Amino acid sequence: MFGQTIECVGTFVANKSMDMFGTAISSIHKVHGHTGNYEDECDDCQNATGGFGCDKHTRGALRVRQGNPTAATMFVNNKKSLRDPNYQAKSATQLDPMDIRIIRDALLSTNTIRCLV
């Protein structure tokens, strides 16, 4: 920052942070009944008319994400890679409040359900 190197001093350990993050996200989803395999919303279901989903989702349209994201393959694989004894954390990036506002404004400006969920 300002031309100086920023170093983490014992407060960031990637695999511990991933465990804490995963536990928090999983707990929040369980409280709201979002359990089971994670599925992202389906673009074909979003575009389908008549209240039905696409041909792949005959049990019901998949218009919003469902399930627990910590069960997603990408999350599980990333968590496994952190257990590798050769893993080295490369950086710790933190979003400040202004970054969050910029992201929020960009998502809200789309005015789509996909960015609001």
Structural domain includes residue 114: no
Range of the domain at 26: 14-88
Structural domain includes residue 100: no
pLDDT value, residue 14? 47
Structural domain includes residue 9: no
Is 76:97 a contact under the CB 8 Å cutoff? no
Whether the pLDDT of residue 19 is over 80: the answer is no
Is 79:18 a contact under the CB 8 Å cutoff? yes
Structural domain includes residue 42: yes
Structural domain includes residue 74: yes
Averaged over 10-39, what is the pLDDT?
A: 74
Structural domain includes residue 107: no
Domain count for the chain, please give it. Answer: 1
Structural domain includes residue 64: yes
In percent, how much of the chain has pLDDT > 90? 0
Structural domain includes residue 63: yes
Whether the pLDDT of residue 26 is over 80: the answer is yes
Averaged over 23-30, what is the pLDDT?
A: 83
Question: Is the pTM value of this prediction over 0.75?
Answer: no
Averaged over 49-75, what is the pLDDT?
A: 80
CA distance 1 to 41: 38
Is 116:107 a contact under the CB 8 Å cutoff? yes
Residues 6 or more apart whose Cβ sits within 8 Å of residue 57 = 42, 45
CA distance 58 to 45: 10
